[in-house]
């Protein structure tokens, strides 16, 4: 059976429907790269999406066109998706425990009264 | 120095060459829209095709200021023999290797031509040349990345690219067909001239191609004609298609 498409250019190619079946080979798809954009020099790069590409050079070329056309951008990073290490969502409870450990946060220390007292003393001294 | 009528004629001829190349290749490359090899490349290539049409508009506007008809009339009402584009840009898109190699050859020439024109004594053109610098730099980055990639892809990709290089090289040299005003353009500081541009182009593309592992044809003779209005059988059908909607009602406001 031949592929019949609404696009006559595809139909003209006379492609066998059978040959399209079966498992994908490694080269059938390019791997993905994650794209990070920097809006202003000195600020953090922010993740904006990903692109398929056969190399980091082309990933950069594609990323420019996919993600920076309408915005301001001064710098791009691309990183192979497989080079990013991630936590499992099933382990997301590891983040919950911090909420109960108030003493680990700077505002947990009750120093503001002492700071205010110090300021009042200094003000009185200079008055 | 004072511009004579011949200087202005030469300048107009130069502008028509550039604008017509950009319009025709922009239109050709836009034929890949929706058919690109992958989504990301489809978007990038379409966007660059659009850039080219935009650049051609900027040049037609300068021509209009020099007394030529308005951009739409110039773009949509001429016949093939009135176009100054080189023949290379009018060939059908062919397979992707052909379109990529043409893009590589053309965009390096375009980049160098605009770079040279950042120093032209004709200020409106100097401004346009500076304005498009970043846009064109991206086009050459894109072309270089693909030529490098496909030289090291598979045996098939390298063979296909090399064949397109061999096939297109004589046409690429045709981009630098001398005009009747070379002397006037050079002596007035309007333009460095086609011969100097061709040398800069060779100094750029030959080392790049060799560094990627391709062979550069050494015995290629340039195929001229386009700049003087001699075109292949492919240009008129392209113009007919491009102007199809315009011709329904040439006075319509868009």
When divided into structural domains, chain A yields a total of: 1
- Please indicate whether, in this complex, the C-beta atoms of A57 and B149 are within 8 angstroms of each other: yes
Q: State the Cα torsion B239-B244-B246-B247 to the nearest 10°.
A: 100
A120 in any annotated domain: yes
The range of the structural domain enclosing residue B82 comes to 5-248
Nearest residue in B to A58, CA atom: B145
Question: Comparing C-alpha atoms, which of B159, B107, B163 is closest to residue B136?
Answer: B107
B110 in any annotated domain: yes
Of B38, B146, B148, the CB nearest to A52: B38
- Please indicate whether, in this complex, the C-beta atoms of B39 and A52 are within 8 angstroms of each other: yes
B253 in any annotated domain: no
A92 in any annotated domain: yes
Nearest residue in B to A65, CA atom: B44
Instruction: Supply A59's token pair.
Output: 């990933």
β-sheet bridge partners, residue A34: A50, A79
A1 in any annotated domain: no
Q: Which residue has the tokens 């791009």?
A: A76
The range of the structural domain enclosing residue A12 comes to 8-126
A102 in any annotated domain: yes
B189 in any annotated domain: yes
B237 in any annotated domain: yes
Give A51 to chain B, closest Cα distance, Å: 7
CATH of the domain at B13: 1.20.1260.10
Query: What is chain A written as a DSSP string?
Result: -B---SSHHHHHT--BSGGG-SPPPGGGSPEEEEEEEESSTTSPPEEEEEEEESSHHHHHHHHHHHHSSSS--SEEEEEEGGG-----GGGGGGGGGGGG-GGGSGGGS--HHHHHHHHHHHHHHH-
CATH of the domain at A50: 3.10.20.520
Q: Which residues contact B69 (CB under 8 A, 6 or more apart)?
A: B77
A21 in any annotated domain: yes
When divided into structural domains, chain B yields a total of: 1
For residues B201 and B176, is the Cβ–Cβ distance under 8 A? yes
- Please indicate whether, in this complex, the C-beta atoms of A54 and B149 are within 8 angstroms of each other: yes
- Please indicate whether, in this complex, the C-beta atoms of A58 and B47 are within 8 angstroms of each other: no
- Please indicate whether, in this complex, the C-beta atoms of B43 and A52 are within 8 angstroms of each other: no
pTM equals 0.85
B127 in any annotated domain: yes
B168 in any annotated domain: yes
Q: What is the pLDDT tens value at each position of chain B, 254 positions in all?
A: 678 899 999 999 999 999 999 999 999 999 999 999 889 999 999 999 999 999 999 999 999 999 999 999 999 999 999 999 999 999 999 999 999 999 999 999 999 999 999 999 999 999 999 999 999 999 999 999 999 999 998 899 999 999 999 999 999 999 999 999 999 999 999 999 999 999 999 999 999 999 999 999 988 999 999 999 999 999 999 999 999 988 898 888 87
Nearest residue in B to A30, CA atom: B38
A2 in any annotated domain: no
For residues B107 and B96, is the Cβ–Cβ distance under 8 A? no
Count of other CB atoms within 10 angstroms of residue A12: 9
């Amino acid at each position: 059976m031949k592929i019949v498409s609404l696009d006559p250019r595809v139909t003209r190619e006379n492609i066998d429907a059978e040959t399209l079946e079966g498992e994908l080979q490694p080269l059938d798809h390019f791997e993905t790269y994650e794209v990070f954009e920097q809006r202003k020099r000195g600020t953090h790069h922010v993740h904006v999406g990903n692109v398929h590409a056969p190399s980091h050079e082309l990933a950069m070329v594609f990323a420019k066109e996919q993600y920076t056309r309408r915005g301001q951008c001064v710098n791009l990073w691309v990183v192979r998706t497989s080079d990013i290490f991630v936590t499992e969502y099933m382990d997301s409870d590891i983040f919950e425990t911090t909420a109960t450990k108030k003493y680990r946060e700077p505002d947990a220390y009750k120093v503001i009264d002492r700071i205010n007292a110090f300021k009042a003393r200094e003000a009185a001294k200079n008055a | 120095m004072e511009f004579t009528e011949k200087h202005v004629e030469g300048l107009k001829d130069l502008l028509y060459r550039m604008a017509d190349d950009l319009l025709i290749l922009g239109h050709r490359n836009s034929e890949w829209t929706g058919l690109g090899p992958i989504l990301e490349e489809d978007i990038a290539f379409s966007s660059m095709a659009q850039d080219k049409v935009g650049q051609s508009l900027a040049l037609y506007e300068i021509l209009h200021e020099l007394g030529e008809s308005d951009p739409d009339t110039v773009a949509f009402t001429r016949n093939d023999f009135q176009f100054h584009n080189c023949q290379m840009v009018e060939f059908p898109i062919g397979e992707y290797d052909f379109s990529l190699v043409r893009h590589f050859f053309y965009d390096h020439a375009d980049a160098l031509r605009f770079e040279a024109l950042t120093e032209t004594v004709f200020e409106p053109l100097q401004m346009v040349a500076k304005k498009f610098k970043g846009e064109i730099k991206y086009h050459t980055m894109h072309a270089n990345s693909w030529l490098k990639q496909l030289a090291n892809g598979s045996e098939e990709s390298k063979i296909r690219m090399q064949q397109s290089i061999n096939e297109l090289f004589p046409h690429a040299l045709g981009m630098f067909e001398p005009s009747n005003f070379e002397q006037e353009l050079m002596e007035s500081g309007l333009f460095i001239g086609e011969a100097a541009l061709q040398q800069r182009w060779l100094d750029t593309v030959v080392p790049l191609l060799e560094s990627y592992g391709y062979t550069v044809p050494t015995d290629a003779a340039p195929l001229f004609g386009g700049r003087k209005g001699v075109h292949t059988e492919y240009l008129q059908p392209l113009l007919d298609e491009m102007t199809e909607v315009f011709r329904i009602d040439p006075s319509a406001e868009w």
